[in-house]
Amino acid sequence: MANQRHHVLVTDRVHPHLLESFTNLYWEVDYIPEITYEEVKEVLPKYSGIIINSKIKATKEFLDLTDSLQFIGRLGSGLEIIDLEYAKEKGVSVYSAPEGNCNAVAEHALGMLLSLFNKLHNANTQVKNFEWQREQNRGIELSGKTVGIVGFGHTGSSFAKVLAGFDVTVLAYDKYKSDYTTGFDYVKEATPEQIRQESDIISFHLPLTTETHYLADQDYLMTCKDGVYIINTSRGQVLNLEDLLFALSIKKVAGACLDVFENEKFNTLLLDQKVVLTKLLQLDNVLVSPHVAGWTHESLFKIADTLVTKITADF
C-alpha cells in the first residue's frame, strides 16, 4: 500500500497540516467540512480514505456502501462511532488520535474543577453586574484532597500529570491495564471501591462501550464518599444525569463539572431529558461546557499531526 495515491474525503474541520501533508504525497484530497452524513454516503465509493468526526457514523450499513475504502481517520478519540469489528473484517484500517487532545482535556478538567471550587463562574457574573459578594464566593482549596481517576489511558494519565503540583492524593483505576502508574510516583493504583470510598473528586476518562454505559448511575453515586465532586469530560452516557441530579439534591454529590451530555443535540431532547437538564443547569454547583474539553487551537494541530503520522506510516 505504500506509495499508493489515495483519494481522501475530509468531512470535518481539520488543521491545514493534514491537508498539506496528504497533498504533498500526491494524494487527492476533497476537503468538505460542511458535508452532511447523507451526502457522504452518496459519494463514499469514490474514496480510498475518509477523515471523520462525530457526525459520521461508520456503521456496518455505512461500510457496506463501498469496497474501495481502505482507511478511516477519526479526528479525536471516540471510536464508538465506528463498527470496529466489521471494519476489520472488511480490511478497513481505523486510526484515532487520542494523543492529540489528551492534554487539552486534562487542562480543561482541571480548569473546570478550580473554577467550581473557587466559584469563579458566579463571582465573574456578579462583579460584572456590579455586585460585590466576598463571603458568598469563599472557595475551596484543591490541596489535600483525594482525586480518583477512572480510566488511565491518554486523558486519564494526562489529568494525573496536571495534578502533579497540587499536593493531592491521586488514585487511579483502569480495568484493562496493569502497572499503569509506573512513572507516576504520586499516583496509587486503586480498586473501584477505593475510588468511590476515598475520593473527594472523581473524574471519568472512559470510552463509551456497553460496559461503561451509565457506569456512574445511582448505585455508583450512592456508594461514593459523601460530598464528592464529579467530573465528566469523556462521554455523556458514562454518567446518568437523572441519577446525578438526585445525588446533588440530597447533597451526596457536592458539585459536578460536565463537558459532555447524554444528548448533545439540544433541539432533539426528549421531554424527560429536557426536564433533567434544565434542573441541572439551574444549579450553581454544576459547571458545564459544550463538549470542548479537547477543543483547543493546539489540539487542532496535534490531532491532525497524529493522524498524518499514523496513516502515512501504513499507507
Torsion over CA of 129, 132, 138 and 142, rounded to 10 degrees?
50
Sheet holding 93-95, edge to edge: 28-31, 7-10, 49-52, 71-74, 93-95
- Alpha carbon distances (Å) from 243 to 10, 155, 294: 38, 25, 26
Tell me the C-alpha distance between 141 and 13, whole Å. Answer: 38
Tell me the C-alpha distance between 228 and 231, whole Å. Answer: 10
- Show which residues are catalytic: 235, 264, 291
Non-local CB neighbours of 259 within 8 Å, separated by 6+ positions: 108, 109, 112, 232, 233, 288, 289, 290, 291, 292, 293
Tell me the C-alpha distance between 220 and 223, whole Å. Answer: 5
